[in-house]
Structure 1
Amino acid sequence: MTDTLPPKTGQPLIQDYLRTLDSSPGVYRMLDAQGAVLYVGKARNLRARVSNYARDTGHTARIARMIRETCSMMFLTTRTETEALLLEQNLIKQLKPRYNVLLRDDKSFPNILVAKSHPFAQIKKHRGAKSEKGDYYGPFASGMAVNRTLNQLQRVFLLRNCTDSVFESRTRPCLMYQIKRCSAPCVGKISESDYAALVADAELFLQGKSTRVQADLADQMAAAAEAMEYERAAALRDRIKALTAVQSVQAINPRGVPEADIVALHMDSGQACVQVFFIRANQSWGNRDFYPRLGGAESADEVMQAFLLQFYDDKPPPRQILLSHPPEDPDLTAEVLSERAGRKVEVLTPQRGEKLELVANALRNARESLARRMSESATQLRLLAGLAEAFNLPGPPKRIEVYDNSHIMGTAPVGGMIVAGPEGWMKNQYRKFNIKGTEITPGDDFGMMREVLTRRFARLLKDDPDRQTEAWPDLLLIDGGAGQVSAVEGILTEMGVNDIPIIGVAKGVDRDHGKEEFHRPGARPMALRMNDPVLYFIQRLRDEAHRWAIGTHRARRTKQALANPLDDIPGVGAARKRALLAHFGSAKAVRGAGLADLQAVPGISATIAQTIHDFFNPGR
């Protein structure tokens, strides 16, 4: 009988791989015993790069731990180092390896869209793919920054923000015209050519040419006054005053930097904050802070390069990127970003002048933001430890999921899930569930909770049955008492999930805030003392779930209330819908109209009339 040798791991394993590698550029993956990817790296020379891991000494604690855990490796060769870098970033984004720097906030940034698909252009906020016809301006750091700018544009240029369907159905000016925020093109208060001139001025403003716009308005005002058109002169005067007010409240407006992103990195105690300021048209369009997940002892240049390549993976980079720290390979980074943008992108680390002042300001914000976050994280960790102690949990939870339902007498029912962890709210993990079950009795909270949890955990069991990712919760918090907890326990047991702690939060006998009772499967109800920080923490969790569920319910209810059945009829566009509403007065009247009545509407042919009639009377 012969003993089988244990499989090689760590440095002996890497030594064996070296025999099969050449000096080609490419990407390598290091995997653990379960096949999960530990790390993805790129190399100009695969053999030379991987040989570094085969050395006995010279590694940081993070790299040494990663090498010990490596049980297999995978390799992909590429033609150039640039291709290797692009492939590396794609794999990092897809696989999210434990030891790589990861950008966790990947939400898209909003833009301002001047939509040109209509003779009277609409101005609005836009997120996502730029598929709609028109001109895009951005990115802005937040929706609030976009809304503020849109408000300014409406005051100065009187552009419409209503949808095309609303525009087509108007018969008299809306409130925006009354408060001098719109020129009311929907009812002919302004000609198409004059409105186009307003749009052109607004676009000049968004391009940073507001001084030129102001001069043109002043010339028009003088001409109107000379022609004794005093009402028009007064309107132009009001627009000039509004534009002057906008210019006076602009934030940092660099004179010598027309278009750039300012990226500053501050690292402390194994954590990092990256502050990004957006400069467009010589104006600051806001800033956003990011907290990339570090694998261990990365250097600043390594973190900066990983951030840049992940941040600009799905958004176009500007012509200049001003950095507080140079990336690991500045030339290669600039080459990759230029290739993505389809034009030259400069990656600079300024040493003097206005650009250095902009970077210093961003760096100060990054340092202050990280200090605040570290202070909040320390408090959060103490609360999670207290929660574990109060409810005898195996350890401080890393992912708490809190569930709540919302409806009004059973209408527009929704379920909401919020997530919290060591770093606070994990808002990109929040989920909403439109209740779809037709067998659920209106107002049946138990039935709604069953549907929500069944959908949530069925997805988890499908996507990650072995629980290899961080998507699985280690504590469920339910807004309810013993009945809800028992129901949730039964639902999870049916699905084969019976090792996740469940806590139900119910109001006490007096239903007072602060006298909550806590219910757990197989345990008697308990309470926490009135001034316990853990009690306040649980209250905040429950209130956040309540806020999220109610907001989701309101949005669904509003959408249902504003829905027009005419929108769903094939072949009925804005003009025909307007004609139908003008003839019958309401969608309800259209629903009850006969075929002959429908054919009497101007613009409604016999074929369209039949389509409308069949839509409201299926099978007849």
Structure 2
Amino acid sequence: TVQGVQGINPRGVAEADVVALHMEGGQACVQVFFIRANQNWGNRDFYPRTGSGAEEAEVLEAFLGQFYDEKDPPRQILLSHPIENADLMAEALGEKRGRKVELVVPLRGEKAELVSFAARNARESLARKMSEAATQSRLLDGLAEAFALDAPPERIEVYDNSHIQGTNAVGGMIVAGREGFLKSQYRKFNIKGDSLTPGDDFGMMKEVLSRRFKRLLKEDPDRESDAWPDLLLIDGGAGQVSAVAEILADLGVDDVPFIGVAKGVDRDAGKEEFHRPGKRPFALKRNDPVLYFVQRLRDEAHRFAIGTHRAKRAKAIGATPLDDVPGVGATRKRALLAHFGSAKAVSRADLADLKAVDGISDTLAETIYDYFHEKG
């Protein structure tokens, strides 16, 4: 949110919502300020969909109808644009609230200043969103060019496996597209294969991809929905890539491109190597924005898989994750709990705080810290 929002505490407006709309390039942003007891109680951005050729009055009216469908309106709503059925809207909102609600498009004074401030915020928020979308679009174009894809991908799926000594193995899938990361589409896969040996990445990948694509083939065999990926990014090199090729071929999926992202020589983060079936591995230039984009995708997949794995392991361990930390017996566990108050607080403690606990050596403090902050 734009700076200075908290400083707006209107003297002459006791209770109102300030609703300002900005439209540009067929997109809209509505900024709502909540004023209660002469104080600004914060603000929120909304991005309503606009029909083609929709005017401000229409977009704002539709927004108000939806916005107050689930919440009680204040006594006054200050608007940036007049709406067509203002009387009807005021009446409907008044009935909902059980007392009069006023809709006003202020032209001067403090109320007009509040509206113009909210409108400026809406304009800046929309500009930021549009520039992020343009950047994302350029990155997807760059990805298509770098990896010789037929078209910029609309849906990228990135897979990562996380397991510590093979226990509670979890596969994670994140999704990205034109809107950035699509978190509602993320999926975790609890690895069921009892025959898998700890650290069997191929086995895990096979199980995850088989489950994912069998489900897609069952739910959308004609590929009509946007649930089908245009590109898969896999953690690993030539070995993983040939395994994935085999898995997809077995399922009869032969037109989803996939790329293995491997750490390069010396596992240097800037030197990722990209592997494609039947082609030589290649690297992108160190400062290539597409390289940063792929790194971000991979980091997000890793973060998601690790987080999911940790949650699963904590659940398996039960109420006191301390039980499973090597070297922490009953006495030390009591000392840690007495010092920090809970196992959760121990898991979040930094190294210096752990070293400060009576009876915990520096080496053990490091073991405890590493246990809760391992990188997977």
Q: State the TM-score, normalized to the length of structure 1.
A: 0.46
After TM superposition, give the deviation of residue 505 of structure 1 in Å. 0.6
After TM superposition, give the deviation of residue 519 of structure 1 in Å. 1.2
Is the 2:6–2:42 contact (alpha carbons within 8 Å) kept by the matching residues of 1?
Answer: no
Structure 2 residue 155 is the aligned partner of structure 1 residue 402: no
**Could you tell me which amino acid in structure 2 is paired with residue 400 of structure 1?**
I
Alignment map for 1:46-445 (pairs within 5 Å): 251-313=7-69, 315-319=70-74, 320-334=76-90, 346-445=102-201
Is the 2:56–2:81 contact (alpha carbons within 8 Å) kept by the matching residues of 1?
Answer: yes
Structure 2 residue 243 is the aligned partner of structure 1 residue 487: yes
After TM superposition, give the deviation of residue 507 of structure 1 in Å. 0.7
Is the 2:73–2:93 contact (alpha carbons within 8 Å) kept by the matching residues of 1?
Answer: no
After TM superposition, give the deviation of residue 374 of structure 1 in Å. 2.2
After TM superposition, give the deviation of residue 390 of structure 1 in Å. 1.2
Structure 2 residue 230 is the aligned partner of structure 1 residue 474: yes
* Compared CA separation, residues 345 and 376, structure 1 to 2 (3 A): same
User: Which residue of 445, 448, 466 corresponds with 2:204?
Assistant: 448
How far apart, in 2, do the equivalents of 1:337 and 1:415 lie?
Answer: 48
How far apart, in 2, do the equivalents of 1:331 and 1:494 lie?
Answer: 64
Structure 2 residue 274 is the aligned partner of structure 1 residue 518: yes
Is the 1:260–1:278 contact (alpha carbons within 8 Å) kept by the matching residues of 2?
Answer: yes
After TM superposition, give the deviation of residue 506 of structure 1 in Å. 0.5
Q: Percent identity?
A: 74
**Could you tell me which amino acid in structure 1 is paired with residue 268 of structure 2?**
D
- The RMSD of aligned alpha carbons is 3.1
* Residue aligning to 1:557: 313
SS in 2 for 1:420: strand
After TM superposition, give the deviation of residue 381 of structure 1 in Å. 1.9
* Residue aligning to 2:285: 529
How far apart, in 1, do the equivalents of 2:206 and 2:88 lie?
Answer: 52
How far apart, in 2, do the equivalents of 1:296 and 1:562 lie?
Answer: 54
* Compared CA separation, residues 514 and 280, structure 1 to 2 (3 A): same
After TM superposition, give the deviation of residue 509 of structure 1 in Å. 2.4
Residues 558-583 of structure 1 deviation map (CA, whole Å, 9 limit, x = unaligned): 4444548xxxxxxxxxxxxxxxxxxx
How many residue pairs align between the two structures?
316
How far apart, in 2, do the equivalents of 1:354 and 1:517 lie?
Answer: 59
Residues 557-611 of structure 1 deviation map (CA, whole Å, 9 limit, x = unaligned): 34444548xxxxxxxxxxxxxxxxxxxxxxxxxxxxxxxxxxxxxxxxxxxxxxx
Is the 1:261–1:277 contact (alpha carbons within 8 Å) kept by the matching residues of 2?
Answer: yes
Larger C-alpha radius of gyration, 1 or 2? 1
**Higher-RCO chain (CA-CA 8 Å, sequence separation at least 6):** 2
How far apart, in 2, do the equivalents of 1:341 and 1:466 lie?
Answer: 49
After TM superposition, give the deviation of residue 258 of structure 1 in Å. 4.7
Gapped runs of 5+ residues in structure 2? 321-376
How far apart, in 2, do the equivalents of 1:409 and 1:392 lie?
Answer: 37
Gapped runs of 5+ residues in structure 1? 1-140, 142-248, 565-620
* Compared CA separation, residues 307 and 535, structure 1 to 2 (3 A): same
* Compared CA separation, residues 563 and 381, structure 1 to 2 (3 A): same
* Compared CA separation, residues 267 and 498, structure 1 to 2 (3 A): same
Residues 241-265 of structure 1 deviation map (CA, whole Å, 9 limit, x = unaligned): xxxxxxxx96533445455443322
How far apart, in 1, do the equivalents of 2:99 and 2:210 lie?
Answer: 49
* Compared CA separation, residues 339 and 260, structure 1 to 2 (3 A): same
* Compared CA separation, residues 563 and 465, structure 1 to 2 (3 A): farther
Alignment map for 1:1-20 (pairs within 5 Å): none
